[in-house]
Amino acid sequence: MIVKDLPLWDRIQSYLGRNLFLIAGPCVMESYELMLEVGHFMRDICERLGVLYIFKSSYDKANRTSINSFRGPGLEKGLQWLSDLKKELGVPVLTDVHSTQEAEIAGEVCDVIQVPAFLCRQTDILIAAARTGRVVNIKKGQFMAPWDMDKVVEKVKVSGNDRVIITERGTVFGYNNLVVDMRAIAVMKNFGVPVVFDATHSVQQPGGLGICSGGDRRYAPVLARAAVAAGADGVFMEVHPAPEKALCDGPNSLRLEGVPRCLEELVAIFEVVKRMQYGHWET
C-alpha cells in the first residue's frame, strides 16, 4: 500500500515493484513562474497515473559549455523558489549541488540532494550529501563503468545514509556523443538501491553545438521505454513548455505537451515487466 504522508524515502520504497517514480522539471530555474507551470502540470499527470513525482530544477548549471551561457538564479534565490514551490504544490523537490557547502545549505530545503555525474567520484561532496540526511541521488558519470558505482554508493552509506539512488545517464562514445548500455540498469540494481534512468541527458550531445550542448529529444522516449523494460525503478527527464526557447538543454528536453503520452506508455510497460517478474538466465 502506498501512503502519501510517509517520509519520501519510505514512499519511494513503497513504490518499488509497484509503480514508477519520476524526477522531472526544467533543466535550469529560468523563473519561478516557469517552475510552477511545469511542476503543476507534472504533478497532475503523475497523480492521474499513480506515479510518485519529484520536482527537479537547478539553481546553478556550473558545467555549461560557454562562460557566457545562462547558469541560473544562484543558490539563495533558487532554494527560496524551491521552498515556495514545495509548499504551493505539495511535492518533494530535488536539486544538484557542486560543493560541500552547497550540500549542507540545500539539505535544509530539498528532499533529494543530487550529485552531478561529473562529481560522482568526489568523496567530500558525497559525504556532505550523505550528512544532510536527505535522499541522495547520484548521477553515474559518463566515464564510469556501472559496476564501479558500488564504491560510490558505499561512500554515502558508510557516511551514515542508506537513502541512495543511482541514475544512469549514458556513457561517452566518441566525441559529442553518448550511448546507453541497458545492462547497466541490471548491474546497478544488484547494489540494492533504486535505479533511475535519465532519458533526456542520455540523448544529449555534450558541447555538440559549439557554444552549448546539442541533443535529439526524439529518442528520449525510445530509450525510456527500453530502460523501464530493462527494470528501471524510476525515470528522470527534463521538460519544458517550449524547449526551443529553453535557456539550457533545450535540444534534449521533452516538450511538456508530449509528456502525458510518454508516461502512459512507460507505466504500461512497467505493468508488463511487473507481471513477468524477470529473473536471471541460467548460463
Q: Does any domain span residue 278?
A: no
Mean pLDDT of 62-86: 86
* Summary mean pLDDT of the chain: 92
Residue numbers of the domain that contains 244: 8-272
Total structural domains within the chain: 1
Q: Does any domain span residue 281?
A: no
Whose CA is closest to 115, among 101, 131, 126, 128? 126
1 pLDDT tier (thresholds 50, 70, 90):
very low
Q: Does any domain span residue 277?
A: no
Q: Does any domain span residue 282?
A: no
Going by DSSP bridges, is the β-strand pair 164-168/195-198 parallel, antiparallel, or unpaired? parallel
Q: How far apart are CA 217 and CA 51, in angstroms?
A: 22
pLDDT single digits (tens) 164-176 = 999 999 998 888 8
What is the rounded end-to-end Cα distance, in angstroms, of the chain?
A: 36
Residue 85: CATH number of its domain: 3.20.20.70
The reply to whether the predicted model has a pTM over 0.75 is: yes
Indicate whether 159 pLDDT > 50: yes
pLDDT single digits (tens) 119-131 = 999 999 999 999 9
Chain-centre distance for alpha carbon 164: 13
